[in-house]
Amino acid sequence: MADTKVYRASTTAPVNIAVVKYWGKRDPKLNLPTNSSLSVTLSQADLRTLTTASCSSSYTEGDSLTLNGEASDVSGARTQACFRELRSRRAALEAADASLPKLSAMPVKLVSENNFPTAAGLASSAAGFAALVQAIALLYELPDSPSDLSLVARQGSGSACRSLFGGYVAWRMGDKDDGSDSKAELIAPASHWPEMRALILVASAAKKGVSSTSGMQQTVATSGLFQQRISTVVPANMALMEEAVKAKDFTKFAEVTMRESNSFHATCADTYPPIFYMNDVSRAAIRAVEHINAKAGKTIAAYTFDAGPNCVVYYLEESSSTILGTFYQALGEVSGWKEGTAGIKSTVELESSLASSLKEGVSRVIMTGVGEGPIKTEEYLIDENGQAVKR
C-alpha cells in the first residue's frame, strides 16, 4: 500500500536587525557577501514568521507556498536552491537507512504567516527563509546544526542565515568559492545580554525605491568608496562589535551600530545613480537619538537603518523610561505602544520641530528586544489532511 500520509512540522523564526551591515554580494548566485555582518535577533513575541512544512505523496500539484493567505511563487532560483539543498540532505539520510520514508521524493506544501504587517517594510525575507529552511529541516528530521542550516537559508536570502540563531549572531563571509564557509555563528545567546531592547519607528512612506538585491549590486559596481568599506571599515567594526557584545559594553555597541548604519547609507548615497533609503523623517529620528544621548550625558540609545526609512533604536532595559518616554511624547498617538508606556515620564524633551517631523512621518512603533532563534511548535498551519488551516 502506498504511503499517502501527510508529514508535518512547524517552526517559528525571528527577524534580525544588523548592527554591522550586509551590503554587497561577491557571488550573487550563491548569495556570498563582500563582507561579514553581525545582527541582533529580535523577540518572536513581537515579530516572527510561523511556517508549517508538510509533504505527502498525495500532493498532486508540486511544491507550493502560501504566505499570509496568498499563493507565493516557488519557482525562483533562491527558493529552488533551498528545496534542492534540503532534499539532497534528506535523500542522503534515506540512502543510508532504507527504513526511512522517502520524503525527499514527495512534493512539499508550505504555509507561512507573519505576525506583523508586511506593509511595515520590515525585512521579512530573513524570518521567512529561516522559517522555511528550519521547517523543512524539522520535517525531514535532518541532524544539521543551525550553522549548517544557515548555509541553506543564506541561499534563500542572505540575511536569513542570521535568523537561525537567537541573540547576537555573526555571518562570517568566508572565502571559499563554493560558499561552504559563508555561514552564521553564535556570538552570544540572548541570555548573555538579555537587557537589549529595540524600538522600531515605522515610517509612513515605507515603499522601497530600489530593492536590496539590485541596490547592493549597483553599489558594488559603481561606488568609489565601497572598497574602503569592505576592506577596512567593516573588518574593524566586526572586531569592535564582537568585543562590545562579549563585554556587554553598550557605549561601544551603540557607537559601532551608528557608525555602521552611517557607513552603509553613505555607500548607498555614493552609488551611481545614488540610492537613498533614508528620508527627512529618518534624519529626524537620528537627531532625536543624538539629543537623548546628549541630555543623558552618555550613550544610551543607538539608531540603525536597513534598506528603508524605518529607524530601529537599540537601548538597554535600564534606559527604557528615557527612551520610551521621550519618543512617546512625540508619537503617543500612533499604534504599537505596549500597555503602561503612556505612564512613563521622561525628563528629555524633543525640540518641537523634531517632534513634529517624527509625528508627520512615523505611522506606528514596535516595542521589542533581543530574543531566541527558531522554535519548534505544535501549532500547525496545515491540518492532518494536508489542507491549509482556516484562520
Contact positions toward a second copy, by CB under 8 A? 223-225, 227-229, 232-233, 236, 255, 258-259, 262-263, 265-267, 269-274, 276, 279-280, 283, 286, 290
Cα separation, 374 vs 327, whole angstroms: 31
Q: What is the closest distance, in whole angstroms, from the C-beta atom of residue 81 to a second copy in the complex?
A: 33
Cα separation, 6 vs 11, whole angstroms: 17
According to DSSP, the β-strands at 64-67 and 108-114 are: parallel
| 344, three cell numbers | 512613563
**145/228 with CB nearer a second copy:** 228
Cα separation, 128 vs 66, whole angstroms: 12
**195/270 with CB nearer a second copy:** 270
**150/293 with CB nearer a second copy:** 293
Cα separation, 259 vs 104, whole angstroms: 46
Asked if 165 and 149 touch (Cβ cutoff 8 Å), the reply is no
Q: What is the closest distance, in whole angstroms, from the C-beta atom of residue 278 to a second copy in the complex?
A: 9
**173/284 with CB nearer a second copy:** 284
Q: What is the closest distance, in whole angstroms, from the C-beta atom of residue 103 to a second copy in the complex?
A: 49
Q: What is the closest distance, in whole angstroms, from the C-beta atom of residue 65 to a second copy in the complex?
A: 34
| Residue 102 CB neighbour total at 10 angstroms | 13
Q: Where are the alpha helices (DSSP H) in 157-233?
A: 212-222, 226-228
Alpha-carbon torsion (376, 9, 171, 20), positive or negative: negative
| 62, three cell numbers | 508540486
Q: What is the closest distance, in whole angstroms, from the C-beta atom of residue 303 to a second copy in the complex?
A: 10
Q: How far apart are the first and last CA of the chain?
A: 34
**154/265 with CB nearer a second copy:** 265
Q: What is the closest distance, in whole angstroms, from the C-beta atom of residue 221 to a second copy in the complex?
A: 13
Q: What is the closest distance, in whole angstroms, from the C-beta atom of residue 276 to a second copy in the complex?
A: 5
Asked if 241 and 20 touch (Cβ cutoff 8 Å), the reply is yes
**29/207 with CB nearer a second copy:** 207
| 105, three cell numbers | 521524493
**47/281 with CB nearer a second copy:** 281
